[in-house]
Structure 1
Amino acid sequence: MVTLKGTLPSLLLGTLLTFTSGALGANPGLVVRITDQGLEYVAQEELLALQKKLHKVTLPNFDGDVRIKHFGSVDYGFHRRLNGSFDVKVKGITISVNLLLDSEPSGRPKVAVSSCSSHIHDVEVDISGDLGWLLNLFHNQIESRFRKALKSRICEIIQDSVTSELQPYLQTLPVTTKIDHLAGLDYSLMGAPQATDQTLDVMFKGEIFSRDDRSPVAFLAPVMNLPEEHSRMVYFAISNYAFNTASLVYHKAGFLNFTITDDMIPPDSNIRLNTKSFRAFVPRIARLYPNTNLELQGAVVSAPCLNFSPGNLSTAAQMEIEAFVLLPNSVKEPVFRLGVATNVSAMLTFNTSKITGFLEPEKIQVELKESKVGLFSVELLEALLNYYLLNNFYPKVNDKLAEGFPLPLLKKIQLYDPILQIHKVGGFSGALRIWGGGW
């Protein structure tokens, strides 16, 4: 149970949030923690909105009777058709609301009011007009009736606001989001939010999936523990699960495959993709296929996994590149196969609504795996492949990473003053922690 508290002149709101228990079948890929500072901010916004609504409260007509010394029993009625006016001052409103937060089967959040009570310390009514002097004689009874009517209206306003405003607003939290024509992002809730005295944790699936063929992921997200810090309003913790599911999708779709042809080589290059150029270090290929162009087809062997370590992100890419000679009638005949390995550093950046990335590869290492044209040195090919990967392959991947993927934020919410940290969780898994200053 967590309490939201906020103060405004003559108004105190205390909101109690209770949560249904939800057992998680798997670990979330992303956790959002709202601290007491964030909850306090939400409470202040609620206070402002509620105060505006209280200023617009329309009180019902009511009648009554009271016994006044020297006058006897007096019947009175308050109706909107009376001439004159009156001022009502309400002091010391205390409101306690129990909100039940849960998740729908679709993974969207839902909220309902389970109980509501209010207390008004004092109501002062000042009546003007022709009958004001008379009505002021029994102002205590009138103020009592006003207090009772206001208490009832306050909880009606809160119930209506939760149903007609808060619940639809929570529905703006994205459950699935399109990234591009290949991938989508699953931000469905994995259970009801979990609360302590100082924090509210919301757990999201955080999985990137194929839009054409969504199938279960073969690995689970790691367990994440957020730091026991409360200096900021909101914290995000993202495990490598989100990034590695993205790697699976794009690898399966062939996004990481590539083809190198001679027209992609710089005009001033000393090596061309043809058998004449290869004659110096692969003599047999020139004899078997004189003056014939070559084509290199590359593919990443398996989806690269992103590894987290304190302050660092890295991955290791294993590629296979197969060389073909381009024969007449569009026939491609394989001649040799290469293995390529490289280590890659990854950098992530964060703005007010999304995470973006950038890869910085090290020099590749090339190994001859199979050859139909005899053994040969791969050193010249290393230079050619390094040029292509650095100037074509990685820029393509970085352009995609620069598009980024959005964080699960409600409509009209943006974070400011973010801090990004990388922490090792255990084994080869880790978590990216984003400390958002506020919204």
Structure 2
Amino acid sequence: MEAGTGPVLSTLLGLLLLSTPGTRGANPALVARITDKGLDYAAKEGLLSLQQELRKITLPDFTGDFKIKAVGRGHYEFHSLEVQNCELRHPSLKLLPGQGLSLAISDSSISIQGEWKARKSFIKSHGSFDLDVKGITISVDLLLGSDLSGRPTVTASQCSSRIHDVDVHVSGKLGWLLNLFHNQIESKLRKVLENKICEMIRKSVTSDLQPYLQTLPVTADIDNILGIDYSLVEAPRAKAGMLDVMFKGEIFNRNQRSPDTLPVPTMNLPEDNKKMVYFAISDHAFNIASRVYHQAGYLNFSITDDMLPPDSNIRLNTKAFRPFTPQITRRYPDMNMELIGTVVSAPLLNDSPGNLSLTPQMEIEGFVVLPSSAREPVFRLGVVTNIFVSLTFSNTKVMGMLHPEKAQVKLIESKVGMFNVNLFQAFLNYYLLNTLYPDANDELAKGFPLPLPRRIQLHDLDLQIYKDFLYLGANVQYMRV
């Protein structure tokens, strides 16, 4: 859908993903808030697209008869009507609580050129004409809803167009004759144009905008493990100057989806209106992602000697491990080792104004690889660390980066006697900071997709951190081809 009122309203509706059904579920994990500033931008973008569409409008030929006492009866026909120019002004997009949106355009004009021909008895003539249409007002109400899958729907529930003034300028040998009854011609042209404008708008909503909205997926892939459900949960909430649109925002395992039974906390959003759009993302979404990763074993890790940097002073074999536990070489001379790290429980995101952090708790178990390739456990350690999280943004995604503090290690069990916890702690921190966390940050850099339609990009982004949710403000740009 490259032209038409598809981009008009897709700029807005695709962004809003509005619906007006009954409540689908509990609290949303993601809320999109559109301000009056965002509606104003959408109206201006819609105006440009509607102008392009009106320039391509096909007007029907129309005919009529005339009767003048001094001349008698005759017949005329206007044909080959083409729009030469279209100027739409003063767009206004308003909320209709419980229904959808109202788009109004006023004080607009259209210039049209065409051909005419007329006959009186055996006399025939033809020529050209110019039609100036001024004082056009257009009003259309859009009823917004959703289907059973949670995708948005739209219909033009009411449309009206009015034309204040129509001037026809006829040239040609009998042009003076047609000018004698220009009022009749202008009245007929006014009615044709008024009907055609609304016909075009209704057709574009049905054939362009509605199919466009239906292509918007209700789920999106985050990575090879996670997906997110963007279906709508209830009707938008309209209040002074803003509209809140609620998304389920449920993170799920793409390979084995199961219902989320944890309640989503209520987000009390601030009354900001400086940006066009705001996204409130609940901690719940991130914590469910953490739980899915944990259940899938994605947060666990294994360390073998070939995974250590070549310049590491410590190798994963019993000989090199002797400084940690001197007795290990007596029982297991010159054997390879493996460390397996397990996250005890899914780490939850801790947020307070201006700060995001995680406090994962892990256990690391050390194994000796016997000549038979069997693994024998020799020690078990507990590990706690605090990780600060920073967020960055692209035009369409939220991306994260981990900034860990040093891990703290304690001995839980040793089957090989004394164990130097402090030395192992230094080794573990070296590995985590140089290998494990960089790998994790590479994954986080892939980003968390925001619910945006095609060709919508965000800029001037501003992040605020509140208790239980992140609040991202942005302005919107529609990228034209």
TM-score when scaled to structure 1?
0.88
Structure 1 residues 305, 155: CA separation in 2 closer, same or farther (over 3 Å shift)? same
**Deviation of 1:76 (Å):** 4.4
Counterpart AA for 2:31: V
- Is 1:421 equivalent to 2:459 in the alignment? no
Corresponding residue number in structure 1 for 2:469: 431
**Deviation of 1:178 (Å):** 2.3
| SS in structure 2 at match of 1:217 | coil
Counterpart AA for 1:315: L
Q: Which shifted more, 273-282 or 123-132?
A: 273-282
Tell me, yes or no, if the aligned pair for 1:295 and 1:325 is still in contact at 8 Å.
Answer: yes
Corresponding residue number in structure 2 for 1:385: 428
Structure 1 residues 268, 230: CA separation in 2 closer, same or farther (over 3 Å shift)? closer
Tell me, yes or no, if the aligned pair for 2:18 and 2:236 is still in contact at 8 Å.
Answer: no
- Is 1:102 equivalent to 2:140 in the alignment? no
**Deviation of 1:120 (Å):** 1.2
- Is 1:273 equivalent to 2:272 in the alignment? no
- Alignment match of 1:195 (pick from 234, 238, 242): 238
Tell me, yes or no, if the aligned pair for 1:174 and 1:410 is still in contact at 8 Å.
Answer: no
Counterpart AA for 1:25: G
| SS in structure 2 at match of 1:417 | strand
Corresponding residue number in structure 2 for 1:427: none
Q: Deviations over 1:163-185 (max 9, x none)?
A: 12212232343322223322222
Q: Deviations over 1:371-421 (max 9, x none)?
A: 333453411111111111111111111010011122111111111221122
| SS in structure 1 at match of 2:228 | strand
Alignment of 1:50-129 (within 5 A): 50-64=50-64, 70-71=69-70, 74=73, 76-80=75-79, 82=117, 83-129=126-172
Corresponding residue number in structure 2 for 1:233: 276
Counterpart AA for 2:297: G
| SS in structure 2 at match of 1:330 | coil
Equivalent-residue separation in structure 2 for 1:101 and 1:73 (angstroms): 55
Corresponding residue number in structure 1 for 2:36: 36
- Alignment match of 1:223 (pick from 266, 269, 273): 266
Counterpart AA for 2:41: Y
- Is 1:166 equivalent to 2:215 in the alignment? no
| SS in structure 2 at match of 1:84 | strand
| SS in structure 1 at match of 2:360 | strand
| SS in structure 1 at match of 2:419 | coil
Equivalent-residue separation in structure 2 for 1:225 and 1:74 (angstroms): 75
- Alignment match of 2:332 (pick from 289, 302, 313): 289
Tell me, yes or no, if the aligned pair for 1:102 and 1:111 is still in contact at 8 Å.
Answer: yes
**Deviation of 1:293 (Å):** 2.8
Tell me, yes or no, if the aligned pair for 2:32 and 2:280 is still in contact at 8 Å.
Answer: yes
- Alignment match of 1:370 (pick from 413, 421, 428): 413
Q: Deviations over 1:234-265 (max 9, x none)?
A: 11111122222222222222222111223444
How many residues align? The count is: 417
Tell me, yes or no, if the aligned pair for 2:19 and 2:153 is still in contact at 8 Å.
Answer: no
Corresponding residue number in structure 2 for 1:313: 356
Equivalent-residue separation in structure 2 for 1:350 and 1:314 (angstroms): 18
Alignment RMSD:
2.4
**Deviation of 1:146 (Å):** 1.0
Q: Deviations over 1:202-224 (max 9, x none)?
A: 22222232111011223233222
Q: Deviations over 1:100-148 (max 9, x none)?
A: 1112222221111111112111111111222211111111111111111
Q: Which shifted more, 46-55 or 280-289?
A: 280-289
Counterpart AA for 1:299: T
**Deviation of 1:52 (Å):** 2.9
Structure 1 residues 292, 39: CA separation in 2 closer, same or farther (over 3 Å shift)? same
Q: Deviations over 1:289-339 (max 9, x none)?
A: 233332211111122111221111101111111111111110111112111
Equivalent-residue separation in structure 1 for 2:366 and 2:404 (angstroms): 23
Tell me, yes or no, if the aligned pair for 2:379 and 2:413 is still in contact at 8 Å.
Answer: yes
Equivalent-residue separation in structure 2 for 1:66 and 1:201 (angstroms): 58
| SS in structure 2 at match of 1:292 | coil
Structure 1 residues 193, 130: CA separation in 2 closer, same or farther (over 3 Å shift)? farther
| SS in structure 2 at match of 1:328 | coil
Equivalent-residue separation in structure 1 for 2:465 and 2:300 (angstroms): 29
Equivalent-residue separation in structure 2 for 1:195 and 1:67 (angstroms): 57
Report sequence identity in percent. Answer: 62
Equivalent-residue separation in structure 1 for 2:343 and 2:235 (angstroms): 39
Structure 1 residues 278, 115: CA separation in 2 closer, same or farther (over 3 Å shift)? same
Corresponding residue number in structure 2 for 1:12: none
Equivalent-residue separation in structure 2 for 1:196 and 1:204 (angstroms): 18
